[in-house]
Amino acid sequence: AQRVTQPEKLLSVFKGAPVELKCNYSYSGSPELFWYVQYSRQRLQLLLRHISRESIKGFTADLNKGETSFHLKKPFAQEEDSAMYYCALRGGGSQGNLIFGKGTKLSVKP
């Protein structure tokens, strides 16, 4: 079964501390993984995707097929990073199907 698990509902860190948001997936084929973010009162938006291997707003995520993980990391958290983060997997079949994790709320304290 295709599944995305984000084990932490809430993650609280202090400004300047490193942050790691965990994501594990279950998928039989070659996965395509994404991180979406939703800031307060804003729309859900794409943060980054593994195929791009990019760093957005200081965040990076590496696909680890052996551990079936796609953790999101940032070395120094900022208060403006406080938001809801969703890990997502492109489902099988045709395009357009995203399987989301339940999300992790990141709170960065001053």
If one asks whether residue 103 binds other proteins (CB under 8 A), the answer comes out as yes
H-state helical runs in 20-80: none
Three-state DSSP class for residue 99:
strand
CB of 91 to other proteins, least distance (A): 7
Site map 14..33 versus other proteins, x via CB under 8 A = ------------------x-
Which of 12, 26, 55, 97 forms a contact with other proteins (CB under 8 A)? 97
If one asks whether residue 44 binds other proteins (CB under 8 A), the answer comes out as yes
Question: Tokens 């707003």 appear where?
Answer: 57
Three-state DSSP class for residue 12:
strand
Question: Tokens 């339940």 appear where?
Answer: 102
